[in-house]
Amino acid sequence: MRDFLASITARAGVLKGVLPLSRAAAARDALAGVQLASMDIPQVLGYARIAGMPAVTGLYTVFLPLVAFALFGASRHLVVAADSATATIFASRLSTMAPASSAEYAALAAMVALLTAALLLIARIFKLGFLADFLSRTVLVGFLAGVGVQVGIAMLGDMSGVPGHAARSIDQLMLVARESALIHAPTLAISLLVVGAILACKRFLPRAPVPLIAVVAGIAASDVYGFAAHGIAVLGPVAGGLPPLRLPSVTWQQVLDLLPVAASCFVMIVAQSAAASRVFAERYHESVDANADLLGIAAANAAAAVSGAFVVNGSPTQTAMADLAGTRSQFAQLAFALVVVVVLLFFSRYLQYLPHCILASIVFTIAIGLIDVKTLFAIRRESPGEFALALFTAAAVVLIGVEHGILVAVALSLLRHVRHSYRPHTMVLAPGDDGMWVPVPAVPGMQTAPGLIVYRFGADLFYANDHFFVDDTRRLIDRAPSAVRWFVIDASAITDLDYSAARSVGELCVALKRGGIEVIFARVNRYLRADMDRHGITPLVEERCIFGTLHEALRSAGVEKPHEQVKGAP
């Protein structure tokens, strides 16, 4: 029966992240889902705070959206819920359009979720899951670090009891510093106690649900001792019950204004969700279906939009928490959603006593967790240039905002790739200490043998790097110790040749031949050969000067036994 159900759901394309599921696995995942709820419910309340939404909407993000992803998604591990990165992205824009936590603000947030769902659905239809590859891990680490700094600064006011809020991080930091005389000592003391307890237990008791303990203890103490009467701000009345289902009501102009925000959320969701699902799929030797996950996250965001919530994301942090709790399928998320239903129906009225400072402190620790210092130091040790990119991205997020910061992150990722293609590594075969020819960086003044240069260009040739190829070739020939008679191009890394590069390469070959230099192409693959034929380069260099191996090319240049002289050559 279980196999029959699995085959039916597989054909329908649903419950991929749940089935197959045995009774023992269901019991295990149900218990893990309850444990995950104990750890995650305080966090989603904090994410609602980051998003500028009523606290109860944080619970809404782990009800219908969780169910929707479990139904349509493919990953067995990904937790799709409220997330600090996407919450910060849309909150930074919506705060300029409507007052936080107002009905208009909530409608705008729901519309962002609906637009994001539409973009994700389009990405699924056109199988655009590969777009996640365009946001490099280095820049993503820097982006999340910037989000962590920004969110941490945003929480300082609530943690210290200083009134007022500024949209920009620098302005918020200056506001707290300027109004430091208004710091409320009891509020600050509670905040420091909560932050210290969470960070200490995260190190020594990582499985302990300290945020939940802090929330429950804070609610109890606030009710018993009347925190509000002593100047400690509390949430106030929280709507209970299941979320009402309705479409967001906004104007067409507002929809147009929100499209860039939704696009930024879309990019972050695709990048983070793909990264999280791949990491845990590889850990458990499971396949990854990025396009099915896109459909699942689209359904989750549509569910968030109609249930009064806000954008949800495949969160790496919460997915790691779920793995720590022992979840092995989306059945655990269904159990999590059931716990949330119980809280909404029977316990939401107690949330009104929750102090803002405790919620802000929980969010502050989440923000600290986004700053992956260990990875940043590893990047710095292995690649100082990429470390600088990560820091630049983090600074952009803090200084110009998350919405623009994500665009900077994508641009930097692409520019880094283009920069390598624009100035690729180039090599020249040169005599080594043992007399064998070995590849070394191409520096003017070097040659392979008297009259011979074997040159390797380390990227495809296209309009942006063809001048570099031509200039590098001329410098090597002009500064060679002896007159060059043969210039062998090792084309093993060249698989594509566009129109502009073909013109430059053709003109170079003609000019060198006029100067008495024979241009020979070695290791020419079928794709490059097709481009050479199509662009008319083959007749210019002649068939006899195009070879599939380096040995054949060297023989044509008069090298008698190239296999004895070239170290590692095929």
Given this model, what pLDDT does residue 567 score? 53
Whose structure tokens read 């969701």?
269
Enclosing domain of residue 55:
2-417
DSSP 243: P
**Rounded Cα gap, residues 264 and 95, in angstroms:** 16
Given this model, what pLDDT does residue 1 score? 46
Given this model, what pLDDT does residue 563 score? 46
Residues 444 and 398 in one domain: no
Residues 406 and 427 in one domain: no
Residues 369 and 494 in one domain: no
Cis peptide before 20 (omega within 30 of 0): yes
C-alpha triplet 30, 35, 40: angle, nearest 5°: 120
Reduced to 3 states, what is the DSSP secondary structure of residue 95? Answer: coil
Reduced to 3 states, what is the DSSP secondary structure of residue 225? Answer: helix
DSSP 81: E
**Rounded Cα gap, residues 539 and 536, in angstroms:** 6
Given this model, what pLDDT does residue 366 score? 77
Helix orientation angle between 84-94 and 137-160, rounded to the nearest 10 degrees: 70
DSSP 97: T
* CATH at residue 511: 3.30.750.24
Residues 113 and 131 in one domain: yes
Residues 323 and 380 in one domain: yes
Residues 240 and 324 in one domain: yes
Residues 347 and 444 in one domain: no
Query: Do 311 and 85 meet the contact criterion of CB atoms below 8 Å apart?
Result: no
Asked if the structure places residue 284 within a domain, the reply is yes
End position of a domain, from candidates 367, 386, 417: 417
Asked if the structure places residue 400 within a domain, the reply is yes
Residues 60 and 92 in one domain: yes
Given this model, what pLDDT does residue 420 score? 75
**Rounded Cα gap, residues 512 and 515, in angstroms:** 5
End position of a domain, from candidates 382, 417, 452: 417
Please enumerate, as own/partner, the contacts of 556-564 that have beta carbons within 8 Å and a separation of 24 or more.
556/520, 557/452, 557/485, 557/486, 557/488, 557/518, 557/520, 558/486, 559/449, 559/452
**pTM of the entire predicted model:** 0.69
Residues 70 and 200 in one domain: yes
Domain total of the chain: 2
Residues 411 and 431 in one domain: no
Given this model, what pLDDT does residue 301 score? 96
End position of a domain, from candidates 417, 439, 466: 417
Reduced to 3 states, what is the DSSP secondary structure of residue 314? Answer: strand
CA distances from 237 to 114, 276, 352, 353 (A): 27, 36, 5, 8
Asked if the structure places residue 570 within a domain, the reply is no
Could you give the maximum distance between any two Cα atoms of the chain, in Å?
96
Given this model, what pLDDT does residue 570 score? 45
Residues 516 and 395 in one domain: no
Q: Which residues of the chain have pLDDT under 50?
A: 1, 4-5, 563-564, 568-570
Given this model, what pLDDT does residue 513 score? 93
Residues 369 and 499 in one domain: no
Given this model, what pLDDT does residue 61 score? 94
Query: Do 529 and 510 meet the contact criterion of CB atoms below 8 Å apart?
Result: no
Given this model, what pLDDT does residue 83 score? 84
Asked if the structure places residue 388 within a domain, the reply is yes
Question: In 3D, which of 47, 41, 90, 101 has the Cα closest to residue 239?
Answer: 101
For residue 240, the Cα-to-chain-centroid distance in whole angstroms is 35
Question: In 3D, which of 84, 81, 87 has the Cα closest to residue 37?
Answer: 81
